């Protein structure tokens, strides 16, 4: 089972940038498609971005397209979420999640539904002030 730990959250003004990192340990990192989700107070956890195990298949939620970028470094067992042009509505706890894929499926896009992921980090708070 993979263990995940997020970092990089904080308080930023609207229009600013943050880079979230998620460090993984356990099974070979390339065996996992990775996702970023967020949950604001009183709201359901929502999909933000995902990246396939080989790093070539990327998906972004419509609200963050053009502002956020997801990437991964399999040599460092890490996935990143670069967030630019932050808005107050981006305020949430951000979670990284992992879904196992066999080697022959490393190119497949991870799911959009949180329920389909196998492991989660503890979350990191992102607060965007207006």
pLDDT in tens, the chain (130 residues): 899 999 999 999 999 999 999 999 977 899 999 999 999 999 999 999 999 999 999 999 999 999 999 999 999 999 999 999 999 999 999 999 999 998 889 899 999 999 999 999 999 999 999 9
Tokens, residue 86? 């932050």
- Look at residue 32 in the predicted model and tell me its pLDDT: 95
Q: 105, 57 in Cβ contact below 8 A?
A: no
Q: d(Cα 51, Cα 36) in Å, to the nearest integer?
A: 9
- 108 DSSP 8-state letter: S
- Which residue in 94, 87, 92, 89 sits closest to 22, CA to CA? 94
Cα dihedral value 60, 62, 63, 64, nearest 10: 30
By CB atoms closer than 10 A (0-12, 13-18, 19+), residue 110 is buried
Q: Are 34 and 79 in contact (CB under 8 A)?
A: yes
- What pLDDT does 103 receive? 85
């Amino acid at each position: 089972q993979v263990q995940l730990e997020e970092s990089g959250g904080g308080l930023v003004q609207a229009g600013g940038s943050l880079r979230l990192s998620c460090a993984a340990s356990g099974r070979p990192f390339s065996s996992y498609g990775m996702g970023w989700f967020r949950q604001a107070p009183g709201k359901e956890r929502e999909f933000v971005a995902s990246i396939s195990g080989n790093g070539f298949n990327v998906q972004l939620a419509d609200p963050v397209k053009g502002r956020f970028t997801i990437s991964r470094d399999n040599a460092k067992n890490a996935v990143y979420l670069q967030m630019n042009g932050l808005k107050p509505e981006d305020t949430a706890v951000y979670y990284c999640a992992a879904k196992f894929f066999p080697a022959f499926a490393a190119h497949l896009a991870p799911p959009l539904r949180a329920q389909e992921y196998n492991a989660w980090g503890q979350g990191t708070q992102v607060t965007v002030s207006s």
